[in-house]
Structures are given as C-alpha cells and as structure tokens.
C-alpha cells in the first residue's frame, strides 16, 4: 500500500524533467496566443484603414464629377481640371487611421458604359455615344503619402513594422435615358436644334408657337407639348408649366406636340428660369413624336405680342442632376453620378 503514493510523488516532483517540458509548452502556447492576438489586431486595424480609404475614395470620386460642368461652363468638353480639384478637395475632408488625408492620384477621362473599351480612356479620344466623363481616385497610406504606411504590432516581429494600404474608386456622369415626373417643362426642342447648338456658348434662339409658320422663321426650334395626352387648352398647359410632366418620360416615348398660341400661357413662363425640356426627333404639330433625349435651357425672355409668340432661350450644361435612369444621348442633362469601380 505504501508503494503507490511514493510513485505518485515522484511523477509530480517540481524538479522532474516532465514539469520543465510543461513550462516550455506553456511558454510556447502563450507566445502563439500573443502572436495570434497581435495578428488579429494588425488585421483589424489594416482592414479599418482600408475601409476608411475606400470610403474616402468613393466620396472624392463622386464629388469630383460635379466639376465636369461647373456653373457657367458652356463647352461640350468637360472641365477636367475643375473636376480634379473638386475630387482632391473631397479627399481632404476625410481621415484614415486617424490621419487627415492630403493627397491622392486622380485621373480623368472617359468611361465606356458598354465596356467595349475597358478601363479609363484618355481625355483626347473622340467620345462615342457610350463614352461618358469619368474620374478615378486612388488614395494610399504609403511612404511620403498621407502620413506614411500603417504601423503594425505583430508585423514588427517579422521585420514588417508598417504596411502600405490603398483604395481606389471610379465615378461617371451619365445623361438620363428617362426622367421622373415633375422634371420637364412642357416645351419640346427639335433634335436638329439641340445637335446644332448644344455646347456652343452664347447662341440664343427663339422657340416659337404659331399656327401659320410664315410668321416665325424659327418655328421648327420647338413647340409646346402636353406629353402623353392629346390636349390643346390653356388650363392643361398652364398646369404643366407649374408642375411638369405628370408621369415619367423616357427616350423612345411618344409625346404630343401642339402649337397653342394663347398669350395667357406666356404669363406663366418666368424669364431667368432654368428648365429641362424633352428633345424630339422632329417637330410635327398635332402629332405624337418620339423623344430622343433631354436638354436644359435658360429662359432669357418671353414675347407674347404679335403673331409670333416665342420664348427666347439658350442651352446650358450646368443644370443640377435630375431624377432619372441611365443612359441617353448627351445634351447637357445628367443624373446623379454613380460609381462604376
């Protein structure tokens, strides 16, 4: 009976080789646990900084598109430098890893919506119908940029005391292929007029409304429309002037063109107002004609006397984004910018 306890004491003796092995195993396990904890901290921190950089890149790219056609810009060609400045200003409103961001790589050019040409194309191309203004932002925490690389805890034991982190985003500006209710002024502009004068600064023209074309030589520039319904009365058009199209209108839809000459209509047209109008394939009064796009205009003045009553106007580019869906021909109207990468 005395033999058993003596053997047990020998097995758990503090000076035994087995207890030393346990200490070594515990030390190794503790080191591994600390390593995993450090790795988890590093990974979490790097992911946090990466997400902050991505959010900053997204916001900056979207903000930059507002500079393509700033207030007063009249050319069909985007203002690339203004867009890049707007994007950089957007970058500098953000932080990543507690560091206020100060710089980024910013590129501008055209993005092909069909992706027949992959990636960002240069500014110098002749843009086709599928090529839209685009801006790419790449932000890094790296040597010499935005406070340098991100410091690590566990990585320091492996000779990597810091790591580069980056993110990029590309945003585009797209013309509407349809617009929501309430967006359109009840006058349609001919495609020939929009093709000839949109994007050319200082061109003012008359949108006339007559039954007898001989009284107004520019009669084909545009006409009143009651959109999807056949209506030729003052109350209907007056309501449309105040409230816009009652239902959405899309490229390919047919809208009713009618000449309406009541002088009282022009009492409700406000000079100095910027409006969005449908572009139609042709002006054919008392008929449904197809919509081919949407164009913003600035109403300069209104004439309601004499046989030729008209709205004096010119096309503009710096119209606020409209509620609608992509993508239609480019006539200076844009839906809110969106990210493509």
For position 176, what pLDDT does the model report? 95
Cβ atoms 128, 135 nearer than 8 A = no
User: CA 258 from chain center: how many Å?
Assistant: 35
User: CA 303 from chain center: how many Å?
Assistant: 38
For position 231, what pLDDT does the model report? 82
Cα 168 to Cα 184: distance, rounded to the nearest angstrom: 36
CA neighbours within 13 Å on the CB side: how many for 253? 23
What stretch of H or E contains 99? Answer: strand 99-100
Coil, helix or strand at residue 44: helix
**Beta-bridge partner residues of 222:** 189
Cα 252 to Cα 178: distance, rounded to the nearest angstrom: 9
Q: What pTM did the predictor assign?
A: 0.79
Write out the two tokens for 125.
């191309």
Q: List the one residue out of 167, 169, 107 whose CA is nearest residue 141.
A: 167
Residue spans of the domains in the chain: they are: 36-173, 178-334
Q: Mean pLDDT, 10 residues at a time, over the chain (341 residues)?
A: 50 55 64 57 83 96 93 85 96 94 96 86 90 96 93 67 90 95 94 88 78 53 89 86 95 87 78 95 88 95 81 88 89 92 79
Sign of CA dihedral 32, 37, 42, 43: positive
For position 135, what pLDDT does the model report? 97
The DSSP annotation for 214-265 comes to GG-TTGGGEEEEEETS---SHHHHHHHHHH--SS-EETT-EEEE-----HHH
Cβ neighbours of residue 322 closer than 8 Å, sequence gap 6 or more: 176, 179, 180, 183, 276, 294, 333, 334, 335
Q: List the one residue out of 50, 57, 18, 22 whose CA is nearest residue 170.
A: 57
CA neighbours within 13 Å on the CB side: how many for 158? 12
Percentages helix, strand, coil for the chain (3-state, rounded to 5) are 30, 30, 40
Q: List the one residue out of 300, 222, 319, 308 whose CA is nearest residue 261.
A: 308
The DSSP annotation for 278-289 comes to EEES---SSEEE
Write out the two tokens for 75.
């050319």
- Residue corresponding to tokens 């609608």: 324
Write out the two tokens for 205.
């023209």
What stretch of H or E contains 168? Answer: strand 165-172
């Amino acid at each position: 009976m005395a033999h058993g306890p003596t053997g047990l004491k020998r097995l758990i003796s503090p000076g035994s080789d087995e207890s030393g092995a346990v200490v070594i195993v515990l030390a190794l396990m503790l080191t591994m646990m600390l390593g995993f904890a450090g790795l988890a901290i590093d990974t979490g921190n790097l992911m946090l900084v990466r997400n902050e950089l991505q959010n900053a890149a997204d916001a900056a790219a979207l903000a930059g598109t507002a500079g393509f056609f700033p207030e007063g810009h009249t050319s069909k060609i985007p203002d690339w430098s203004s867009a890049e400045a707007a994007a950089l200003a957007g970058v500098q409103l953000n932080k990543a890893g507690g560091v206020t961001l100060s710089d980024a790589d910013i590129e501008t050019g055209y993005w092909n919506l069909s992706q027949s040409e992959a990636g960002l194309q240069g500014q110098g191309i002749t843009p086709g119908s599928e090529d839209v203004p685009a801006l790419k932002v790449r932000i890094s925490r790296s040597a010499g940029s935005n406070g340098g690389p991100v410091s690590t805890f566990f990585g320091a034991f492996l000779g990597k005391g810091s790591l580069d982190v980056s993110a990029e985003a590309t945003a585009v500006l797209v013309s509407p292929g349809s617009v929501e209710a309430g967006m359109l002024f009840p006058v349609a502009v001919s495609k020939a007029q929009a093709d000839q004068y949109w994007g050319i600064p200082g061109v003012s023209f008359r949108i006339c409304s007559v039954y007898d074309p001989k009284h107004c030589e520019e009669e084909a520039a545009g006409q009143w429309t009651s959109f999807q319904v056949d209506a030729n009365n003052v109350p209907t058009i007056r309501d449309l002037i105040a409230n816009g199209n009652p239902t959405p209108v899309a490229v390919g839809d047919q809208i009713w063109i009618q000449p309406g000459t009541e002088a009282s209509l022009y009492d409700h047209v406000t000079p100095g107002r910027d409006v969005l109008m449908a572009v139609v394939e042709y002006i054919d009064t008392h008929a449904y004609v197809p919509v081919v796009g949407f164009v913003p205009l600035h109403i300069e003045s209104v004439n309601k006397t004499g046989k030729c009553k008209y709205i004096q106007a010119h096309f503009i580019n710096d119209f606020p984004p409209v509620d609608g869906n992509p993508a239609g021909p480019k006539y200076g109207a844009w839906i809110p910018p969106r990210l493509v990468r």
